[in-house]
């Protein structure tokens, strides 16, 4: 499989590093994690280790980056676990903009990935509540991004577009009718979930700056505790339960190393409970918001897959048709178990 990860050009790297005061650099190694479209280097220096990244195309709007950095600065002052931003030599600016590209330099946080343990899961929920506490008084002149997976016209448009965008994929040939049936079913399930959330009062719930992408890949752990939360590009102003529902989904979803058709239909309900337990130890949302969680999970699961498949026909390197079939099975499980989930969520 070809390596299509973006890399820094030697000349580019020299120019970028000239804007920082890092002293002697002992080594610079590619750091192949996160988006393949955003090149990253781990820099080892006498003064410590740092992570240099170039923003991916589509994620380099300077106003959105400025908002994310204002949020990071606030979290650092609140001693919330995020990497320190390193400013440029001349003006101590955390954003370096050169030739329409945006570069960032952070302290490198040494930690381990999510190991699926109940200890990691519980602390991830507790840390989300800590984040919501930390941003309660956050204010900035920068406008947060718009958009949400709940009741989104773009998700519905994507579902309508998928039969066309995936038509050329080998996995779809001979299955066109099945693909159309799957997208129609997901459209109906998405509408039903959105209607249920709206009926519970979504428009009236208090809003805050949520993280927007609270999943295991955006956290580093050490000794069963979160030591760094990453990627604030999806932060926006919405009810906190949106983060909670997405976190419960992401930390309980069961995947596999094989094709999506082999992934389990069900979720790890124990991990789902433990994430909520960690969050609820610090913040308890009202009953209607908690009742909305299973429905928000359905919306989140559908939206997460539909948006990239509608754009490219694929989900990462997986054919879109197989992913949608898997999503439909998992959505059915959530629907079949909504009453059971609501029961223990409200306990």
pLDDT digits (tens, 9 = 90+) for 43-97: 999 999 999 999 998 888 999 999 999 999 999 999 999 999 999 999 999 999 9
- pTM of the shown model: 0.94
- Checking if the pLDDT of 168 tops 80, the result is no
Mean pLDDT of the 278-284 span: 97
Q: Is 69 helix (H, G, I), strand (E, B) or coil?
A: helix
Structure tokens given for 324: 């949608």
d(C-alpha 244, C-alpha 119), whole Å: 17
Alpha carbon separation from 176 to 166, 168, 260, 302 (Å, rounded): 9, 11, 18, 19
Is 53 strand, coil or helix? strand
**Using CA atoms, how far apart are residues 87 and 64, in angstroms rounded to an integer?**
18
Confidence bin at 311 (pLDDT 50/70/90): confident
- Superfamily of 118-345 according to CATH: Aminoglycoside phosphotransferase (APH), C-terminal lobe (3.90.1200.10)
pLDDT 10s digits, 318-333 = 888 889 999 999 999 9
Q: Rounded CA gap, 16 and 52, in Å? A: 9
DSSP for 136-175, written as a single string: TT---SSPPPP--STT-HHHHHHHHHHHHHTTTSTTTTT-
Residues of the chain with CATH 3.90.1200.10: 118-345
pLDDT (mean) for 102-113: 97
pLDDT at 317: 81
pLDDT at 164: 86
pLDDT band at residue 170, thresholds of 50, 70 and 90?
low
pLDDT score of 341 more than 80: yes
Band (3; pLDDT cuts 50, 70, 90): low
Task: Return the sign of the alpha-carbon dihedral for residues 311, 316, 320, 326.
Answer: negative
CATH 3.30.200.20 for domain 10-107: yes
- pLDDT tens track for 181-231: 999 999 999 999 999 999 999 999 999 999 999 999 999 999 999 999 999
Closest C-alpha to 292, from 188, 208, 203, 216: 203
- Provide the 3-class DSSP secondary structure of residue 44: strand
Which of 14-23, 104-113, 154-163, 251-260 has the lowest average pLDDT? Answer: 251-260
Structure tokens given for 108: 């490198």
Distance CA 218, CA 177 (A): 37
| Residue limits of CATH 3.30.200.20 in the chain | 10-107
Whole-angstrom distance, CA of residue 198 vs CA of residue 292: 9
Average pLDDT, the chain: 94
Return the H-helix or E-strand segment holding 102.
strand 101-107
pLDDT of residue 1: 40
> Tokens at residue 118, please?
């109940």
- pLDDT for 2 equals 46
Q: DSSP character for 315?
A: E
**In 3D, which of 168, 181, 156, 170 has the Cα closest to residue 324?**
181
């Amino acid at each position: 499989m070809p390596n299509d990860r973006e890399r820094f050009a030697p000349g580019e790297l020299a120019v970028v590093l000239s804007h920082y005061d890092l002293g002697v650099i002992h080594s610079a190694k590619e750091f192949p994690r996160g988006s393949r479209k955003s090149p990253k280097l781990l820099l080892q220096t006498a003064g410590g280790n740092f992570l240099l990244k170039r923003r991916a195309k589509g994620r380099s709007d300077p106003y959105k980056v400025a908002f994310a950095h204002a949020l990071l600065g606030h979290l650092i002052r609140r001693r919330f676990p995020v990497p320190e931003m390193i400013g440029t030599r001349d003006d101590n600016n955390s954003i370096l903009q050169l030739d329409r590209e945006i570069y960032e330099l952070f302290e490198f946080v040494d930690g381990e990935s999510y190991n699926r343990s109940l200890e990691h899961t519980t602390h991830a929920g507790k840390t989300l509540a800590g984040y919501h506490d930390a941003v309660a008084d956050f204010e900035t002149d920068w406008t947060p991004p718009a958009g949400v997976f709940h009741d989104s016209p773009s998700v519905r448009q994507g579902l309508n577009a998928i039969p066309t965008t995936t038509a050329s994929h080998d996995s779809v040939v001979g299955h066109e009718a099945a693909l159309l049936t799957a997208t129609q079913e997901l459209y109906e399930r998405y509408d039903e979930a959105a209607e249920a959330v709206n009926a519970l009062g979504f428009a009236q719930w208090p809003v805050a700056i949520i993280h927007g992408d609270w999943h295991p890949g955006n956290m580093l752990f050490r000794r069963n505790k979160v030591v760094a939360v990453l990627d604030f590009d999806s932060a926006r102003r919405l009810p906190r339960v949106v983060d909670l529902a997405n976190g419960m989904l992401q930390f309980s979803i069961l995947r596999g190393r094989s094709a999506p058709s082999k992934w389990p239909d069900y979720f790890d309900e124990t991990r789902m409970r433990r994430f909520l337990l960690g969050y609820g130890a610090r913040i308890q949302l009202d009953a209607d918001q908690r009742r909305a969680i299973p429905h928000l999970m359905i919306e989140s699961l559908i939206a997460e897959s539909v948006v990239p498949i509608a754009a490219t026909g694929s989900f990462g390197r997986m054919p879109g048709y197989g992913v949608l079939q898997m999503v439909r099975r998992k959505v059915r499980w959530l629907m079949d178990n909504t009453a059971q989930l609501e029961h223990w969520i409200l306990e």
